[in-house]
Structure 1
Amino acid sequence: MIIPDERWWLHACLRLVLLIRIGVLSSVAALGASTICNHIPGLVPPQRILCQQRPDAMLAVGAGAQLALEECQYQFRRERWNCTPTGERGVFGYHLRAATREAAYMHAVTAAGVAHAVAMACIRGNLRGCGCDVAKHGLSSMSGTPDAKFRWGGCSADVNYGLDFSRDFVDQRENTQSARSLMNLHNNEAGRRVLEQTIKLQCRCHGASGSCSLKTCWNSLPSFREVAMALKSRYNKAIQVQAFLAGRKRLPTFLRVKRIQGFRKPQPRQLVFLDHSPSYCEASAVVGNTGTDGRTCRRAKGKARMAHDSCDLLCCGRGYDTREVTVESRCNCTFYWCCKVRCHNCIHRTEVFTCK
């Protein structure tokens, strides 16, 4: 689902693509691309320049940012903070002002989403300057098993191109020396590293009678849901950091893990945050939350009451309202050979619980 007030980005990108296809960025098309890029809100000057130079990639950037937002909303759909856009609007939707673990996840999943979408556009032949990974050719061997030979074939995803483009575009916003910028840059790179880690090696067997004496393999992009889920597990284990100040001006130079002796830096794939998260019970544009008022919850007993979507936790102790709704669904389905399935329409009433 595309959020209505986010369509401006996709509309602008579609206009850019149309300009590209009409004469491959003639002087008139280039002027149009420059005009459109200058009117996209939220872009910093280096991003506008890249937009003008590579307007064909902007549709993939917009699609990646939208995919990241949708996956964020899916991963947090049962929690108090459910990734609903609030706060300052920018090129990737909305910016979370507080430097919390939720902001860490947003930066990581967005950077990974842009890299994923750009690499996918390369595979589909939608971008100039990239396609299949040309480095994947000839004989190779399975990792850790030198006797298991295979030959590169098919179209391997050029994930490095997507990762580099994500760095060139997404990271341009972090051009100030501040603890928040260091945090954002770290989480951006963590998201891209997790994407790189989830690349899959797919193979097809060759040989007499399926002996698989030789395999043809290629690198395949994972579904973005897998990437978002991997980042969600890192969100749950995110660590608090603080900036180390150095130099005469005492400027932030790198992040170190807080409350640990020495100067241990966070691991590259760890998500990091500066500030602890609020309860997210009440709506606040400052922290980037819509509150839980009106959210659907699950009435539970026993240990299930500690689940994120239980009415006890989601409603923050305010209680919940109960209403009955009528639901129509298919039931009593029968398969007839061959090949039909016939079902009845069943109507039943159920209870829905919403937070006060």
Structure 2
Amino acid sequence: MALIRHCVTLLLILCCSRLCGAIQWLGLTVNGSRVAWNESEHCRLLDGLVPEQSQLCKRNLELMQSVVNAAKQAKLTCQMTFSDMRWNCSSVENAPNFTPDLSKGTRESAFVYALASATISHTIARACASGELPTCSCGATPAEVPGTGFRWGGCGDNLHYGLNMGSAFVDAPMKSSKSGGTQATKMINLHNNAVGRQVLMDSLETKCKCHGVSGSCSVKTCWKGLQDLPHIANELKSKYLGATKVIHRQTGTRRQLVPRELDIRPVRESELVYLVSSPDYCAKNPKLGSYGTQDRVCNKTSVGSDSCNLMCCGRGYNAYTETIVERCQCKYYWCCYVMCKKCERTVERYVCK
């Protein structure tokens, strides 16, 4: 029996890996951080990449540190964005092996695919502007005529290069003949990847720096820069909350994704899509990829998703007090240091039963 259970576990892991191969690169935080990325042989150390991604790695070694950084940022940003909800993205730490919440075409996997796609292009674009990559530099000067009182200058994020390299890497598994997953799964993954990149493109804004005597800002130098990842993640979270459940069916001469409830219209390019409904994530259930909310911190006074009523799923909560030490009564002394006292205060915490 033990042998059978072991074999079943291995089979589940293999199936999961094949289905969610497009985000297996998030596992680069496990082994990619220990690599110097100065030899093509290092690409062989990466588990789960399809041949096309391995080739991209070998041809663009200088890019791989940015890819590793993007994997770290995607994980951290996902967990921060969903820290107030029952599903808190903790399962992303399992990369490159994922639980069912991220391997079966759920609403949660739609968000992670979109965020990962946006993050890798964002990280590469920023790396170009900061001079970290020898293959690219600042973004192109905008074609639009500058307004009154400012001129184009500075070093803008190279969104064009970031999108090209990022999409080539994250879309490769869905376009590879050697990757697993159904056609429907590949289609929704490609769609959600594109949604992530569109939100990234929409975040490009004009940023300026003032010049002039005594900060008069008589002249401004401006460039195009991307907003930070938390902003992009929050935009995607809104799309996650309004995501559309779809089916994969024959439409004319080809199979397409159409909304399950409103199949009279095509899927919009701006909306996240998913195939499988999610559990409520209240109780721990490994088969569904649910960690449950027992022992999660909740907010007694909130009426949102982090409220004790919603977070604890009606099971109730326990209260306890905690003493924290923090800096207080700080004074600035000329020149040039600050001295503070240490103060203790007691706070009340609430944890789901």
TM-score by length of 1: 0.79
Q: Distance in 2 between matches of 1:204 and 1:69?
A: 32
Structure 1 residues 97 and 87: CA distance shift in structure 2, 3 A: farther
Corresponding residue for 2:5? none
Structure 1 residues 199 and 229: CA distance shift in structure 2, 3 A: same
Q: Distance in 1 between matches of 2:98 and 2:44?
A: 16
> Does the CA contact (< 8 Å) of 1:73 and 1:83 recur in 2?
yes
Q: CA deviation at 1:347?
A: 2.3
Which SS does the other structure have where 1:10 is aligned? helix
Which SS does the other structure have where 1:326 is aligned? strand
Structure 1 residues 79 and 192: CA distance shift in structure 2, 3 A: same
Structure 1 residues 116 and 5: CA distance shift in structure 2, 3 A: closer
Aligned with residue 79 of structure 2, among 68, 73, 91: 73
**CA deviation map 1:104-155 (0-9, x unaligned):** 110011001100111111112222321112x426x7325xxxx758643222
Q: Distance in 2 between matches of 1:91 and 1:163?
A: 26
Q: Tell me, yes or no, if structure 1 residue 82 matches structure 2 residue 88.
A: yes
Q: Distance in 1 between matches of 2:339 and 2:162?
A: 47
Q: CA deviation at 1:55?
A: 1.2
Q: CA deviation at 1:198?
A: 0.5
> Does the CA contact (< 8 Å) of 2:284 and 2:290 recur in 1?
yes
**CA deviation map 1:81-106 (0-9, x unaligned):** 00002696329999812322211110
Aligned with residue 144 of structure 2, among 133, 140, 143: 140
Q: Tell me, yes or no, if structure 1 residue 330 matches structure 2 residue 327.
A: yes
Structure 1 residues 343 and 205: CA distance shift in structure 2, 3 A: closer
Q: Distance in 1 between matches of 2:121 and 2:333?
A: 47
Q: Distance in 1 between matches of 2:320 and 2:134?
A: 55
Q: CA deviation at 1:272?
A: 1.5
Aligned with residue 181 of structure 1, among 177, 183, 186: 186
Aligned with residue 11 of structure 1, among 34, 51, 57: 34
Q: Tell me, yes or no, if structure 1 residue 228 matches structure 2 residue 233.
A: yes
Unaligned ranges ≥5, structure 2: 1-25, 176-180
- The RMSD of aligned alpha carbons is 3.1
Q: Distance in 2 between matches of 1:60 and 1:347?
A: 41
> Does the CA contact (< 8 Å) of 1:86 and 1:288 recur in 2?
no
Aligned with residue 195 of structure 2, among 190, 215, 231: 190
Q: Distance in 2 between matches of 1:160 and 1:336?
A: 46
Structure 1 residues 188 and 287: CA distance shift in structure 2, 3 A: farther
Q: Distance in 2 between matches of 1:151 and 1:350?
A: 51
Q: Distance in 1 between matches of 2:150 and 2:345?
A: 56
> Does the CA contact (< 8 Å) of 1:86 and 1:290 recur in 2?
no
**CA deviation map 1:256-294 (0-9, x unaligned):** 22322524222x222122222210112234443322121
Aligned with residue 66 of structure 2, among 60, 79, 87: 60
Aligned with residue 315 of structure 1, among 308, 312, 317: 312
**Structure 1 stretches of at least 4 aligned residues deviating more than 6 Å after TM superposition:** 91-95, 205-211
> Does the CA contact (< 8 Å) of 2:99 and 2:286 recur in 1?
no
Q: Tell me, yes or no, if structure 1 residue 245 matches structure 2 residue 244.
A: no
Corresponding residue for 1:158? 158
Name the aligned partner's letter for residue 353 of structure 1: Y
Q: Tell me, yes or no, if structure 1 residue 127 matches structure 2 residue 124.
A: no
Q: CA deviation at 1:177?
A: 5.3
TM-score by length of 2: 0.80
Q: Distance in 1 between matches of 2:161 and 2:307?
A: 43
> Does the CA contact (< 8 Å) of 2:204 and 2:226 recur in 1?
yes
Q: Distance in 2 between matches of 1:123 and 1:95?
A: 36
Q: CA deviation at 1:68?
A: 1.1
> Does the CA contact (< 8 Å) of 1:330 and 1:346 recur in 2?
yes
Q: Distance in 2 between matches of 1:125 and 1:351?
A: 47
Structure 1 residues 247 and 239: CA distance shift in structure 2, 3 A: closer
1:332-347 mapped onto 2 (5 Å cutoff): 333=329, 335=331, 338=334, 341-347=338-344
Q: CA deviation at 1:353?
A: 1.9
Identify the structure with the greater helix proportion.
Answer: 2
Q: Distance in 1 between matches of 2:132 and 2:338?
A: 40
Structure 1 residues 351 and 127: CA distance shift in structure 2, 3 A: same
**CA deviation map 1:202-259 (0-9, x unaligned):** 23567999695x75431112211221122122222222222232588xx7x3322232
Q: Tell me, yes or no, if structure 1 residue 284 matches structure 2 residue 281.
A: no
